[in-house]
Structures are given as structure tokens and as C-alpha cells.
Chains A and B, each alone.
Chain A
Amino acid sequence: DAKTTQPPSMDCAEGRAANLPCNHSTISGNEYVYWYRQIHSQGPQYIIHGLKNNETNEMASLIITEDRKSSTLILPHATLRDTAVYYCIVAPLELRGSNYKLTFGKGTLLTVNP
């Protein structure tokens, strides 16, 4: 699977947009980009995923560059409850009969400040 690189930590002011970058320069054409987050003392939570088009849901937006070598997760109006470790994961497309295990890195600790 392609490797990802994320900054270890970031800060954001409450109410402002949080933009979390992820580098995945070795991504191949059949790999998705997934984002999860993990609030302290909780299990990881799925946020969003994409292949090559930008995606938006009720939690966040995902912007993937045209060459697909990097992406940005955007939380449009960060709140204190968004303080968490955010994981960017690259994963192969549907694998017939195979294990859809998630390979987590160390992620980015986003701290939202009041």
C-alpha cells in the first residue's frame, strides 16, 4: 500500500477552517484516500473518502490534487470537539475476498483552541 505523510500536529482557532494535509506521492490508480479521526479515549471514526474527485459530506470536505499525490481534509468551522488525531489512509480498491484492513500511520494531532 502507498505510504502517507502527515504533519505530527496542527493548531486551529475555534470557528475557523482546519486544513489538514496529507502527502501520498506513491499512490497508485486503484487506491482510495480515506480519512479517520480518533478523539481521545475513543475508537477511530470514519470521516470521508475519495478516489480522484473532491468529496463533501456533513463532517468534512476532501480535496485531492489532480495528480492525486496529495490531499487536504477540510473542517469548515472547527469546534473544540474536533480536537483529535486525524489519520490519512491509502487503501486499494475493492479486493475480492480479501481483507479490508486499515493501515494507520501516526496521524496529525489537531488541537482546536478557544
Chain B
Amino acid sequence: GAGVSQTPSNKVTEKGKYVELRCDPISGHTALYWYRQSLGQGPEFLIYFQGTGAADDSGLPNDRFFAVRPEGSVSTLKIQRTERGDSAVYLCASSLRRGNYEQYFGPGTRLTVT
């Protein structure tokens, strides 16, 4: 079956611009996670959705970052006024049921802010 998909695979933007990153989880997976991975580091948690609501957004670095999941399936991570430090790979993961460490990851979106 189809895995987690993320679009775009690569995004280059100028400092100060707004970007949206999309995640399509595995069908039927109710939990959705966003992580960010900088070069040479492991992924870091950003935000967790259970259904439509953001159950935990404690990993978002500041208020320029926001994520939605309006129908409990597709999610969009939104970054306003991008900074060069936002350059990283943004990973999305989903899991079948509430609270599960067995997560299925997408291939990520590589964001480069110039």
C-alpha cells in the first residue's frame, strides 16, 4: 500500500518568504507527527496531531511555525518569514492508533532558505 508522502521533495525559498509543506499520511492512520532534521543530527519532534487537533505543539521553535490538519488526514506545516536557520529536512510520520511509537515516516521535504 501507499506510504506516507510529502510534497514538495525539495523547496528553495528566499529569506523572509512564506512556505507550506504538505504531508499525506497512510490512510486510516489517526496520529500524525512532524519532525525536523538538521544536517548530521537525528530528527527532532515539532508537533503531534491526534485526529484534527494539535495534541502537542511543544516542539515548534517559535510562532513563525504553524501546522494544521483540518480533516484529520492531510497536514500542512506552515513557516512564515523564513530564516536561513530554518533550512533542514522536514519529516512527517503517521501511526495507526493513538499513541504508538511504531511510526511510518515519509521521505521528507528538504527546505533551503537562501
Contact = CB atoms under 8 A, between A and B. Distances in A.
Interface of A: 32, 34, 41-46, 49, 85, 87, 89, 91, 94-107
26 contacts: A32-B101, A41-B107, A43-B91, A43-B93, A43-B105, A44-B103, A44-B105, A46-B102, A49-B102, A91-B101, A95-B99, A98-B99, A99-B55, A99-B56, A99-B58, A99-B99, A100-B31, A100-B48, A100-B99, A100-B100, A101-B56, A102-B101, A102-B103, A104-B43, A104-B44, A107-B42
A63 to B, nearest CB: 19
**A interface: dominant SS:** loop
B54 to A, nearest CB: 10
Contacts of A44: 43, 91, 93, 103, 105
Main secondary structure of the interface of B (DSSP, over half): loop
Given A85-B42, A100-B101, A101-B48, 17 more contacts: A42-B107, A43-B106, A43-B108, A44-B91, A45-B105, A46-B102, A89-B101, A94-B99, A95-B99, A97-B55, A97-B98, A98-B99, A99-B45, A100-B31, A100-B95, A102-B45, A102-B103
